[in-house]
Structures are given as C-alpha cells and as structure tokens.
Amino acid sequence: MISNLEIPDPFQTFVAKKYANAKGYIYDFFTGEWSYKCLTCKEDMSAPSRKIMTKIRLYHTRNECTGGY
C-alpha cells in the first residue's frame, strides 16, 4: 500500500507539500511562502513561514475580523 513512497513522484511530492496542512494553510512551492485565506472574511494573507503564518492568522482573527465570534 505504501510501497510507492519508496520512489517519490515529483508531482505527488509537490501536491503533498502544497496541501500538507490542516488549518487551510497553503504552501506555495514556487515562492516558498505560506498563504491562508480567512474563512470568515475571505481575506488573503501570506507569510514566509508556517510559524509566522499562525501568528498572523491569530492576530487577524483576534483583532481584525474576530473570526466570526
């Protein structure tokens, strides 16, 4: 079942990286940036790392659109 992983397919690796997140973060393989679209106000945000993306997202939801609460 997972024997295919022994030889990574470039495209599959790309897709895996691009969607390797659980919070709606998208990794842009070409620019090396993370992006995130606020589910509440649909605003697009981007950051150079996933860690910073989380900080930006939390700041945004707490202080800007309040995340719908």
Contacts with Zn ion, residue ranges (CB under 5 A): 38, 40-41, 43, 65
Question: Which amino acid, one-letter code, is at 63?
Answer: N
Nearer to Zn ion by C-beta: 4 or 63?
63
**8 Å CB contact between 34 and 50:** yes
Nearer to Zn ion by C-beta: 5 or 52?
52
CB of 40 to Zn ion, least distance (A): 4
Nearer to Zn ion by C-beta: 5 or 58?
58
Question: Which amino acid, one-letter code, is at 47?
Answer: A
CA distance 38 to 18: 17
